[in-house]
A and B are shown apart, each in its own frame.
Chain A
Amino acid sequence: MLSRNLRFLSRRYSQGVTFRTTETSPSQQNENQIGLFYTVNNDVCKQLFGHGGLPKSYMKQTKTFTETSLMVRLPALDIINCIKATDFDKPVIRYMLYGEIGAGKSLTLAHLLHYAYEDGYLIVHVPWVSEWLRRVPRHKEMSNSPTHEGLVDLPLDGAAWLLHFKMQNQVLLKKGNLKISKEYVWSKREQTPEGAPLAELIEHGITRVKYACDVIDALISEIKILSNSKQCKTFVAIDGFNTFFYPLTRLSTPTKKKVTPEEVTLTKSFMELTKNDWVNGVIILTADQLGVSQDHQESHLPKYLLYKKGFEHIDPFVPVEVGRYSEREFMSCASYYRDRLWLRGPRETEGELKLASACNPYKFMELCAPL
């Protein structure tokens, strides 16, 4: 037992220097740490990604590896660098992450979320837009919006997202200095008075699921007002943003009418949020091929995925490509997998895996699974 522990320790020690970094604060990381892994604190991880935000296969892997390790990669550092240089009195700047399937867009977003969390931003994070518009499980609930004529509410999804929002921002919300600017009347007996804390609004949305989508709409306009008045700075992250612009959703009304994304209230709210008519915030979006149907996956470039309409909605934006692993990143990832005993066998395996996976991070992980 002792010798095993010793072996384990020595392995960690001998290889630890080559692929790990002890710098766990994203804002302090720099180019020297590119390709190195850092471990996200478990509590933070639970708070940020407890209700989604990390890809499923990666979640499984974190369970296997008993730690949430993220690789420090160039796109994230690039954006953090840009955010640090941003003038927050000017309209929000929108960043668009794009790249091939499995290149690590969502994990880059997770890295940036960690940065935002550490830096005290109010986080508005949509883990996966397709979850709302394209995934139709049996319990999917849809209802016609009482406030917006001709639009459709997704109350359960809305409430789930409010829970996610509450979870991510519990520290800021607990302080209670974020107040709402006007009175919201939901029904005869239910109303949220002016000056009530933001948490109360959210709580109302969670408990009264019927109003969840309207609460989101109100919440987003409140967040914009709060940011404009410099009471908080806001970090918006939307994964699979291009799904909002795909002509059709998989939803259909009880009368079998196909629903377009514009007819969903959630779309309307988040379109409002991604405009650059407010200040003191950062918007990071991703364009993902998996977010749209198979007939529109020919290219991973943002204009193709967003259509002209989406492009015009968010331009001028900063396109940031998340590419495949570089040589250094690949070797670092391989040694990390070796450390976690995810990859075994002779050293020559790496070269073969590199060719077989074409340095695509997701493919590499998949290929290593049976080894």
Chain B
Amino acid sequence: MYLIFCHKSVILNKLIKMSLFIRNYKPGVAYNAQILWRFNSTTAETVKQGEDEEEFRVLDILHKKGKLQKRVNRRADIQPDRSEKMPTDQNWGNVWPGPRSFHPSSVPLPIRQGYVPKGQAPPGKKANAELMKIPNFLHLTPPVVKSQCEALKKFCTSWPKLLNSEEAIEKNYPMEIISSDYCHASPTIRNPLARIVTLRVKLSNLKLDSRARDKFLRLVGDKYDEKTDLVTLTADRCPVRKQNMDYVNYLLTACYHESWTVEDWETDKCLEDMEYYDFDLNPSKKNLVNWYLMSNNEDNNLNDEQVKNFDVSKIPNGVEYKSAVSELFNEGESDLALNKYDTSVRKLLGLPEKKIAN
């Protein structure tokens, strides 16, 4: 019994030795060096074990090992980061008064930015070019803006009381001039962008009849926005704001008066040149009127002028038909427009309504 036990303990001992051997075994220097290189670029520090005592000493003629092992002496009295010393109730406006590129020691925030390797956090704020590249608004925090506005208030006059609504402003000041002022600390106080002047006016505020309005729209082209009814004229061609302002005013004046003048060739405009479909001028109206007169057994020898002046509302369902045809031409042909046309024609001709599959 004891013998067997003893034998067992020997085997156990052997096993332990084997495992120790495996654990401490180092394949070679080359392998170690590769691992070292791989870990070098990351923040994580490799666990470097000391020289194994049991290895043979190697003759080191070129003192290579000594160089590798040379320690960099660090200053023991290094100061902690400024951002760590900042009090929590400081005036941030004083720390960061103006626009400036990011500086890690001045910003007491745990900011991270940059490429995120798998399974790691993004790079921290120190020595981080990504944070310095992007523009920041650390100088425009809400309390700072508020205090600056307070400081500017004493230079402002109070808002007129009667201009209390958007409508009142629009009514009394129909024309709007937009320009920008720039203020910054640099050797020159001029900014080339300050010369740009934009004039905005509602088209409905200009006194134009339908012909003049049409011409005005053709003159201004895409400077008119149909949704807001605003004409926007922008000038940046002159070097000084005053000149641009004069130019914008000139543009508006010139367009306005030009749209009121009637040239000889404008009377040559025929039906094909029309930019929209006018039912009263087109043959469709003639068809409708002729049909109406014929179905009532009246003579249909109206001339063109009479047809043009014929009142469509005299015809039952004529107005609806007119709007359907106009829509078909003005808005383009679609199933919806055709359906509308269909229903209006059936009403006009006195036919039963369209059957719908159930």
Interface, chain A (partner B; CB < 8 A): 31, 34, 74, 77-78, 81-82, 85-87, 90-91, 93, 276-277, 299, 301-304, 308, 311-312, 315-321, 326
> Considering the complex, which residues of chain B in the window 325-358 have a beta carbon less than 8 Å from any beta carbon of chain A?
325, 328-329, 333-335, 338, 341-342, 345-346, 348-352, 354-355, 357-358
Contact indicator A34/B283 (Cβ below 8 Å): no
Contact indicator A34/B350 (Cβ below 8 Å): no
Contact indicator A318/B355 (Cβ below 8 Å): no
Partner of A316, one of B282, B287, B357: B287
> Considering the complex, which residues of chain B in the window 259-297 have a beta carbon less than 8 Å from any beta carbon of chain A?
282-284, 287-288, 291, 294-295
A91, closest chain B residue (CB): B294
Task: Give chain B residues whose Cβ lies under 8 Å from the Cβ of A318.
Answer: 342, 345-346, 349, 351
A299, closest chain B residue (CB): B333
Contact indicator A315/B338 (Cβ below 8 Å): no
Task: Give chain A residues whose Cβ lies under 8 Å from the Cβ of B295.
Answer: 90-91
Task: Give chain A residues whose Cβ lies under 8 Å from the Cβ of B342.
Answer: 318-320
Could you give 28 example pairs across A and B, Cβ below 8 Å? A31-B355, A34-B357, A74-B355, A74-B357, A78-B355, A85-B351, A85-B352, A86-B351, A93-B349, A276-B287, A276-B294, A299-B333, A301-B334, A301-B335, A301-B338, A303-B328, A303-B333, A312-B282, A312-B283, A312-B284, A315-B288, A316-B287, A316-B321, A318-B342, A318-B351, A320-B342, A321-B335, A321-B338
B294, closest chain A residue (CB): A91
Task: Give chain A residues whose Cβ lies under 8 Å from the Cβ of B338.
Answer: 301-303, 319, 321
Interface, chain B (partner A; CB < 8 A): 282-284, 287-288, 291, 294-295, 321, 325, 328-329, 333-335, 338, 341-342, 345-346, 348-352, 354-355, 357-358
A75, closest chain B residue (CB): B355
Task: Give chain B residues whose Cβ lies under 8 Å from the Cβ of A78.
Answer: 354-355
Contact status of A316 and B345, CB under 8 A, knowing A74-B355, A87-B350, A302-B338:
yes
Q: Would you call the interface of chain A mostly helix, strand, loop, or mixed?
A: mixed
Q: Tell me, in angstroms, the Cα distance from A81 to B342 when the chains sit together.
A: 15
B356, closest chain A residue (CB): A74
Q: Tell me, in angstroms, the Cα distance from A318 to B345 when the chains sit together.
A: 6
Task: Give chain B residues whose Cβ lies under 8 Å from the Cβ of A304.
Answer: 333
Q: Tell me, in angstroms, the Cα distance from A168 to B278 when the chains sit together.
A: 43
Contact status of A316 and B288, CB under 8 A, knowing A74-B357, A91-B295, A299-B333:
yes
Q: Tell me, in angstroms, the Cα distance from A93 to B291 when the chains sit together.
A: 10
Q: Tell me, in angstroms, the Cα distance from A317 to B348 when the chains sit together.
A: 10
Q: Tell me, in angstroms, the Cα distance from A221 to B282 when the chains sit together.
A: 28
Q: Tell me, in angstroms, the Cα distance from A78 to B334 when the chains sit together.
A: 21
Task: Give chain A residues whose Cβ lies under 8 Å from the Cβ of B328.
Answer: 303
Q: Tell me, in angstroms, the Cα distance from A315 to B290 when the chains sit together.
A: 11
Q: Tell me, in angstroms, the Cα distance from A302 to B334 when the chains sit together.
A: 10
Partner of A276, one of B291, B334, B346: B291
Task: Give chain B residues whose Cβ lies under 8 Å from the Cβ of A326.
Answer: 357
What are the nearest 8 A-B pairs in CB distance? A312-B283, A90-B295, A303-B333, A78-B355, A301-B333, A82-B351, A316-B345, A85-B352
Q: Tell me, in angstroms, the Cα distance from A233 to B201 when the chains sit together.
A: 64
Task: Give chain B residues whose Cβ lies under 8 Å from the Cβ of A93.
Answer: 349, 351
Q: Tell me, in angstroms, the Cα distance from A86 to B346 when the chains sit together.
A: 11
Q: How far is the CB of B317 from chain A (nearest CB, A)?
A: 10
B271, closest chain A residue (CB): A308
Task: Give chain B residues whose Cβ lies under 8 Å from the Cβ of A277.
Answer: 294
B288, closest chain A residue (CB): A316
Q: Tell me, in angstroms, the Cα distance from A81 to B351 when the chains sit together.
A: 9
A84, closest chain B residue (CB): B352
Partner of B358, one of A31, A315, A319: A31
Q: How far is the CB of B351 from chain A (nearest CB, A)?
A: 5
Task: Give chain B residues whose Cβ lies under 8 Å from the Cβ of A90.
Answer: 294-295, 349
A82, closest chain B residue (CB): B351
Contact indicator B355/A316 (Cβ below 8 Å): no
Contact status of A316 and B333, CB under 8 A, knowing A81-B352, A85-B352, A87-B350:
no
Task: Give chain B residues whose Cβ lies under 8 Å from the Cβ of A302.
Answer: 333, 338
Task: Give chain A residues whose Cβ lies under 8 Å from the Cβ of B329.
Answer: 303, 308
Q: Tell me, in angstroms, the Cα distance from A82 to B351 when the chains sit together.
A: 6
Task: Give chain B residues whose Cβ lies under 8 Å from the Cβ of A31.
Answer: 355, 358
Task: Give chain A residues whose Cβ lies under 8 Å from the Cβ of B284.
Answer: 311-312, 315
Q: How far is the CB of B116 from chain A (nearest CB, A)?
A: 46
Interface core residue of B328, B333, B349 (most chain A CB under 10 Å):
B349
Q: How far is the CB of A361 from chain B (nearest CB, A)?
A: 15
Interface core residue of B342, B346, B350, B354 (most chain A CB under 10 Å):
B354
Q: Tell me, in angstroms, the Cα distance from A213 to B325 when the chains sit together.
A: 35
Q: How far is the CB of A75 from chain B (nearest CB, A)?
A: 9
Q: Tell me, in angstroms, the Cα distance from A34 to B346 when the chains sit together.
A: 22
Task: Give chain B residues whose Cβ lies under 8 Å from the Cβ of A320.
Answer: 342
Q: Tell me, in angstroms, the Cα distance from A60 to B325 when the chains sit together.
A: 41
Q: How far is the CB of A359 from chain B (nearest CB, A)?
A: 13
Q: What 13 new A-B contacts, CB under 8 Å, besides A31-B358, A318-B349?
A: A31-B355, A34-B357, A81-B352, A82-B346, A85-B350, A91-B291, A276-B287, A301-B335, A303-B328, A318-B342, A318-B351, A319-B342, A320-B342
Q: Tell me, in angstroms, the Cα distance from A361 to B294 when the chains sit together.
A: 41
Q: Tell me, in angstroms, the Cα distance from A299 to B337 when the chains sit together.
A: 14
B296, closest chain A residue (CB): A90
Contact indicator A82/B333 (Cβ below 8 Å): no
Task: Give chain B residues whose Cβ lies under 8 Å from the Cβ of A315.
Answer: 284, 287-288, 325
Contact indicator A77/B355 (Cβ below 8 Å): yes
Partner of A319, one of B341, B348, B357: B341
Q: Tell me, in angstroms, the Cα distance from A236 to B287 when the chains sit together.
A: 20
B325, closest chain A residue (CB): A315
Task: Give chain A residues whose Cβ lies under 8 Å from the Cβ of B325.
Answer: 315
Q: How far is the CB of B142 from chain A (nearest CB, A)?
A: 57
A329, closest chain B residue (CB): B357
